[in-house]
Amino acid sequence: MKPADFEIDSTDPSFVSDIDRNRNELFSSFEWTDPKAQLQNRVKGIELDRYFRLTESERIGIRDTIRLNVSATPYYLSLSDPNDPNCPIRRMIVPRESESVFSPEESADPLHEERLSPVRGLTHMYPDRVLLFTNHECSVYCRHCMRGRKVSDSKERMTSEDLELCFEYIRSHPEIRDVVLSGGDPLNLNDTKIDRILENLESIEHVRICRLGTRNPVTLPFRITKELCGILESHNTDRLSIFCNTQFNHAKECTPEAKEAILRLLKAGVSVGNQCVLLKGVNDSGETMLELHKKLLEMRVRAYYMYDPELIPGSRGFRTPLAKGIEIVDYMRGKIAGMGIPSFVNDLPGGGGKITLGPDWYLGYYKPERLHVFRSALRGTYHVSSEPQDSTFEESYPEISSETWEGIRSSCYGVRGKLE
Ligand code: SF4
């Protein structure tokens, strides 16, 4: 046993732990803003042990995960807390033991993307839109990734021939107007390949929209270089409109570097929206989501979706009750502008497509007085508005009974104030 006066006091402010030292060494060992150097210095698998005080559950998770590879850029890792296992960024980087369990309700492909794939790497679920899997690689392998069956797996690499077959399919289907580039992360391809893909899409007469699904503004903002933005801008033309949907999940991710990346995309004419994923222990509270979306608006990113997590293998640690998402939307309404409130969506298992879910602000229709009754999200009060006299839709509304109406009538507000 060490003599007492040689014992390390980790509460002493001058104390520097091995973990802090390792982090400092890593963060100063290369050109920080060089995206290639960030990728070359990614921390993988059990190397995380050098940068986090890992819990037993995390060690088992890293060893036994049934999901995608474990890897993070030093930039993204620098946003995490080495000592707190509940740090939201750490939860998205470091697997836990729950990631090693394949639950009976889960499936590798819950949305049936493969069944709806006419050619390798392309999913045609909606009539006018396709999803093009351009690349199996990402800067960080997020533990909650819904496409973990393919992402990080080199067997899923898309060759030029695969991509050509996808373009041929799109060319021969004039109903396709909108192509989502996803993966993996399309921005982990090099500039030349991105240029070629966009050139191909731009040359197809009926393709008018291209959406980039990328997490690089969050996990490696330095990838959004002037050169890349120049390429995006050159294809963002009268022929083709380019949008970017990114995925910030927590306010800690909204850094000055991320903001700079977003501003570069905006300057290239690329409109940026956010599709967050509702994740237990990361962002499953109204206040956390509100803070995230306030920060996003400050970065000029509009809210788009808040996804209910998919039933993918090993995802039980992240899943929240359906009611949680509805509660969050209810909480946010009235506290931030509408463009900062995401639609809560469930991508239906079995390839049913997305549906939106929301709080019950519409109580129903009181037919004798042709009135719709609503609950105010802002004040919790009841409000009415009338159906047009010539409406032929009266039968399509859920009806409110006379008893319910009599019970709330005196507390309802209409255009002239409280009802008499
Ligand atoms: S960046 Fe997107 S595709 Fe890649 S691991 Fe994360 S969630 Fe999955």
pLDDT in tens, 86-124: 999 999 999 999 999 999 999 999 989 888 999 999 999
Binding-site annotation: residue ranges for [4Fe-4S] cluster: 138, 142, 145
Asked whether 151 lines ligand 1 (CB < 6 A), one says yes
CA–CA distance, 257 with 220 (Å, rounded to integer): 9
Mean pLDDT along residues 375-389: 95
Burial class (CB in 10 A: 0-12, 13-18, 19+), 396: exposed
Asked whether 307 lines ligand 1 (CB < 6 A), one says no
Query: Phi and psi for 29 in degrees, rounded to 5?
Result: -90, 0
- 140 Cα: distance to centroid of ligand 1 (angstroms): 7
Does residue 162 carry a pLDDT above 60?
yes
Model pLDDT, residue 296: 98
- 233 Cα: distance to centroid of ligand 1 (angstroms): 24
User: Nearest-CA neighbor of 253 among 79, 95, 86?
Assistant: 79
How would you classify the pairing of strands 129-135 and 122-123? antiparallel
* Amino acid at site 182: S
Question: Is domain 122-356 annotated with CATH 3.40.50.1000?
Answer: no
Residue 147 CA: nearest ligand 1 atom is 8
Does residue 3 carry a pLDDT above 80?
no
pLDDT band at 254 (very low <50, low <70, confident <90, very high): very high
Residue 148 CA: nearest ligand 1 atom is 8
Q: Which of 131, 141, 276 has the most ligand 1 atoms within 8 A of CB, as the residue to mutate?
A: 141
Binding-site annotation: residue ranges: 138, 142, 145
Asked whether 185 lines ligand 1 (CB < 6 A), one says yes
User: Nearest-CA neighbor of 90 among 51, 136, 137?
Assistant: 51
Does residue 154 carry a pLDDT above 70?
yes
Between 15 and 128, name the one with better pLDDT. 128
Q: Where are the beta strands (DSSP E) in 281-342?
A: 302-307
Model pLDDT, residue 158: 94
Lowest-pLDDT range of 153-157, 196-200, 275-279, 399-403: 153-157
CA–CA distance, 30 with 39 (Å, rounded to integer): 11
pLDDT band at 6 (very low <50, low <70, confident <90, very high): very low
Asked whether 213 lines ligand 1 (CB < 6 A), one says no
The share of the chain scoring above pLDDT 70, in percent, equals: 96
Asked whether 138 lines ligand 1 (CB < 6 A), one says yes
Domain boundaries, the chain: 15-99, 122-356, 362-418
